[in-house]
Amino acid sequence: MTTAVNLETEVWRALDAVLDPELDQPVTDLEFVSRVAVDRSDVQVDLRLPTYFCAPNFAYLMVADAHDAVAELPWVRRVRVRLLDHFASEEINAGVAAGDGFDAAFPGLAAGELEELRTTFLRKAHLAYQEQVAQQLLRSGTGLEQLVQVRLGNLPPSQALDRLRRRRDQLGLPSGPDAPLLVDDDGAPVPVEGLSARLRFARTTRVSIEGNAGWCRGLLDTRYGPGGGTARPGLH
């Protein structure tokens, strides 16, 4: 007999897979999930963000992804995800509940769905992880000429590598042991010409993503108080 607490834990675990597309971190780690309530097969999830004016497109993606992640649990029949304290809460919550997509949630204001936006940020994250892994190799003496030859299968396990592989799968890029570490947005190997500039830009991208994540965490704390009432069982 599964207890309600276990069901709740399952919901939290499902939400661990939902990322803030811009920050490339799970919404649970970021403490954007303020509440999970389970009533037999009905689940309610509340999300809140660092500011009232966080970009509505990213907010929509998180609400929709949270909805889908929880709905995939075999015992769940009904999911309600509510975004709180946001200028577009009403449109986003209604849009996700209706399942009509982003364009329909903002009539006349959007020109299509959010897949392109998601791809843009997956590419940024992928670039940043490539740089992180490449940087470790460069520090241990690998030259640029060798670096373009490195394949994923040659690399020691690391968190950055796991994340890089996951982003590649999401982007439909090669992620097997024979895939080069350094590929461009289309999956083509990166030539050694222009590599140092490419890596330099990738590092700027990483600084930017990490910096934004820190800023968002800080603003969330300011808005809701440190630890601001997220109620994950067993963690707080």
Q: Closest CB to another protein among 15 and 23?
A: 23
Widest CA span of the chain, in angstroms?
61
Shortest approach of another protein to residue 66 CB, angstroms?
A: 19
Q: Minimal distance in Å, beta carbon 13 to another protein? A: 29
When the beta carbons of 8 and 221 are compared against another protein, the nearer one is 221
> For residue 129, which amino acid is it?
Y
Question: Which residue, 44 or 212, is less far from another protein as judged by CB?
Answer: 212
Dihedral Cα 159, 165, 167, 172, nearest 10 deg? 180
Enumerate residues 6+ apart whose C-beta is below 8 A from 177: 151, 152, 153
Q: Is 156 helix (H, G, I), strand (E, B) or coil?
A: coil
Q: Which residues bind another protein (CB under 8 A)?
A: 22, 51-57, 87, 102-103, 106, 108-114, 116-117, 120-121, 124, 193-194, 196-198, 200-201, 204-205, 207-208, 211-212, 214-215, 218-219, 221-223
Question: What count of residues does the chain have?
Answer: 236
Give, to the nearest 10 degrees, the angle between helix 56-71 and helix 89-98. Answer: 40
- The minimum distance between CB 33 and another protein, in angstroms, equals 20
Q: What's the closest the beta carbon of residue 116 comes to another protein, in angstroms?
A: 7
**Which CB, 16 or 221, lies closer to another protein?**
221
What CA–CA distance (Å, rounded) separates 227 from 212? Answer: 19
Query: Judged by CB, which is closer to another protein: 53, or 75?
Result: 53
